[in-house]
A and B are shown apart, each in its own frame.
Chain A
Amino acid sequence: MPDFITVQDAVFEYLRPESTPVRAVDHVDLSVAQGSHVAVLGRNGSGKSTLARLINALELPLEGTVVVAGFDSQAEGSAWEIRQRCGMVFQNPDNQIVGTTVEEDVAFGPENLGVPQPEIRRAVDEALAAVGLSEYAVRPPHLLSGGQKQKLAIAGILAMKPRCILLDEATSMLDPVSRRDFMDMVIDRVRRDGITLVNITHHMEEAVLAEDVVVLSQGRVVAHGTPADVFEAVAEIRAEGLDVPAHMEIAHRLAESLGATLVHGETETPAKAVDAVIRVLAESKADRSERFSSETAAAAAAPAARHAGAFTIDPTDILIDVKKLDFTYLKGTPFSNRALEEVSFQVRRGEILGIVGHSGSGKSTLVQHLNGLLRSAPGVVTVLGLDASRGGDIRAIRQKVGLLFQYPEHQLFEETVRGDIAFGPRRMGLPEEEVEARVLEAAKIVGIAEADLDRSPFELSGGQKRRAAIAGILSMRPEVLILDEPAAGLDPAGRDEILSYVSSLRDHGATLVLVSHSMEDVARLADRVLMLDHGRVAAFGDTRDVFSDEATLERAGLSLPASTAFLKRLALHLPGLDTARFTAAAAATAVLAAAGAAPANGNGGAAC
Chain B
Amino acid sequence: MLKDISLGRFYPAESPLHRMDPRAKILATLVLMVLVFLANNVWSFVAYGLFSAFCIALSRVPPIHVFKSLKPILFLIVFAFLLNVFSGKGDAIFTIGPVSATWEGLWTGLRMAARLILLITTSSLLTLTTTPILVADAMERMMKPLQKIGFPAHEMAMMMSIALRFVPTLVEETDKIMKAQSSRGADYDTGGILRRARGLVSVLVPLFIGSFRRADELAVAMEARCYRGGEGRTRLRVMKTAGRDYAAFAVVLAFSAVVVWLEFLRFA
Report A's interface with B, CB cutoff 8 A: 56, 58, 80, 83-84, 87-88, 90, 92, 94-101, 103-104, 107-117, 120-121, 124, 140-143, 156-157, 160, 329-330, 335, 337, 368, 371, 373, 395, 398-399, 402-403, 405, 408, 410-413, 423-424, 427-428, 458, 472-473, 476
Contact = CB atoms under 8 A, between A and B. Distances in A.
Contacts, number: 152
Interface string B114-141: 0000000000000000000100000000
Contacts of A476: 184-185
Interface stretch (B80-88, B93-101, B235-243): B235-243
Contact of A398 (B168, B185, B205): B185
Contact of A112 (B177, B186, B209, B227): B227
B133 A84 contact: no
A393 B103 CA distance: 60
B185 A98 contact: no
Interface of B: 1, 3-4, 133, 161-162, 164-165, 168-169, 172, 176-177, 179-187, 201-203, 205-206, 209-210, 213-214, 217-218, 220-228, 232-238
Identify the 5 closest CB pairs spanning chains A and B, nearest first. Answer: A427-B185, A107-B236, A96-B221, A413-B205, A95-B217
A83 B184 contact: no
Contacts of B238: 117
B226 A112 contact: yes
A142 B236 contact: no
Nearest to A329: B1
Interface-central residue, A100, A108, A140, by most chain B CB under 10 Å: A100
Given A337-B1, A476-B185, A58 B234 contact: no
Contacts of B205: 413
Nearest to B158: A98
Contact of A121 (B187, B213, B224, B236): B236
B236 A103 contact: yes
B183 A88 contact: no
Nearest to A91: B217
B3 A143 contact: yes
Contacts of B164: 100
A160 B228 CA distance: 15
Contact of B226 (A80, A96, A103, A403): A80
Contacts of A88: 221, 224
A116 B234 contact: yes
A211 to B, nearest CB: 25
Contacts of B1: 329-330, 335, 337
B161 to A, nearest CB: 6
Nearest to A411: B180
B3 A113 contact: no
B183 A402 contact: yes
Given A115-B234, A121-B236, A98 B218 contact: yes
Contacts of A398: 182-185
A95 B221 contact: yes
B41 to A, nearest CB: 44
A330 B2 CA distance: 10
A99 B165 CA distance: 7
A368 B223 CA distance: 39
B232 A114 contact: yes
A403 B179 CA distance: 9
B184 A427 contact: yes
Nearest to B208: A413
B172 A142 contact: yes
Contact of B4 (A90, A330, A458): A330
Contacts of B165: 97-100, 141
Contact of A413 (B4, B206, B225): B206
A87 B224 contact: yes
B224 A56 contact: yes
Given A395-B185, A413-B201, 8 more contacts: A95-B214, A98-B221, A101-B133, A160-B225, A395-B187, A398-B184, A424-B184, A427-B184
A395 to B, nearest CB: 7
B185 A424 contact: yes
Contacts of B234: 110-111, 114-117, 120
A94 B184 contact: no
B176 A405 contact: yes
B225 A108 contact: yes
B218 A96 contact: yes
Contacts of A108: 222, 225, 227
27 contacts: A58-B223, A58-B224, A87-B224, A88-B224, A90-B221, A95-B214, A98-B165, A99-B165, A100-B165, A109-B226, A110-B234, A117-B234, A120-B236, A140-B168, A142-B3, A143-B3, A160-B225, A371-B183, A373-B183, A402-B183, A403-B180, A410-B206, A413-B202, A424-B185, A427-B185, A427-B187, A476-B184
